[in-house]
Amino acid sequence: MESQGGDILFLHMNQDPIRAGEIVVFNVDGKDIPIVHRVIEVHERQDTGEVDVLTKGDNNHGDDRLLYPYGQLWLQKYHIMGRAVGFLPYVGWVTIIMNEKPVIKDALTFHN
């Protein structure tokens, strides 16, 4: 799946273990906008059964640890909103353009 900005993603979350190679949508503490990146490493902690996940953007040189809060090296399951299972290309651009250009939003919005 090769999604880009402006695409609408379909998410699925189930109890199956997260695997390296999957594309996930996650929240980072202290940031308002979810991030869509690929899982590159998964570590299951034997003592607790908890899973640590490391992500990376496909076009980025390094992993996402610089995006995580200071001192955080891994994502936990509660950070992950879902797995991307499909997308509609470009459909989200309508919303992006309307938010960035209020004049266009006004022109496309019908007032009674």
Domain 8-108 bears CATH identifier 2.10.109: yes
Q: How far apart are CA 112 and CA 109, in angstroms?
A: 10
* Residues 36-62: tens digit of each pLDDT: 899 999 998 888 878 999 999 998 999
* Residues 60-107: tens digit of each pLDDT: 999 999 999 999 999 998 999 999 887 766 555 556 666 677 666 566
pTM attached to this predicted model: 0.71
Residue 1 has pLDDT above 60, yes or no: no
What are the sequence ranges of the domains in the chain?
8-108
Higher-pLDDT residue of 5, 101: 101
Cα→Cα distances 105→78, 108, 109, Å: 35, 5, 6
